[in-house]
Amino acid sequence: MSNAAALTEAGFASAVANGVTLVDFWAEWCGPCRMMSPVLDELAADYAGKASVGKVNVDQEPGLAEQFGVSSIPTLLVIKNGAEVKRYIGVTPKAELVKALDASLA
């Protein structure tokens, strides 16, 4: 079971409206997405109470993927108070994500 919250179109806006959220656009069949999954679980635990980690399954939520212009997965967005502040495409080292989260929280 993932520590990251599953995000859907219905609750997405309210989930990212306040604070810092790392959003992973992924799919079940995507190998690199599966490689990122444990990293995202660790970040969700590490940042509990400080930042949120959410996952958007692009097969189930194509509207959100389209809204954010996601054409390759995994795509990871750092969203602060509803606005995208950083974007990563592909497998991204945990240290890079930690740096982005810390900068957004500062």
Q: What is the CATH number of the domain that holds 90?
A: 3.40.30.10
Greatest C-alpha distance within the chain: 35
Would the pLDDT of 3 be above 90? Answer: no
Pairing between β-strand 5-6 and β-strand 83-89 as defined by DSSP bridges: unpaired
Q: Residue 56 is part of which domain span?
A: 5-105
How many domains does the structure of the chain reveal? Answer: 1
Would the pLDDT of 4 be above 90? Answer: no
Per-residue model confidence as pLDDT tens digits over 17-53: 999 999 999 999 999 999 999 999 999 999 999 999 9
What is the rounded distance in angstroms from the CA atom of residue 1 to the CA atom of residue 24? 16
What is the reported pLDDT for 2? 67
Query: What is the arithmetic mean of pLDDT over 4-12?
Result: 93
Helices (H) and strands (E) in the chain, counts: 4, 5
Looking at the annotation, which residues are catalytic?
A: 30, 33
Per-residue model confidence as pLDDT tens digits over 79-92: 999 999 999 999 99
What is the rounded distance in angstroms from the CA atom of residue 76 to the CA atom of residue 92? 8
Per-residue model confidence as pLDDT tens digits over 61-76: 999 999 999 999 999 9
What is the reported pLDDT for 73? 97
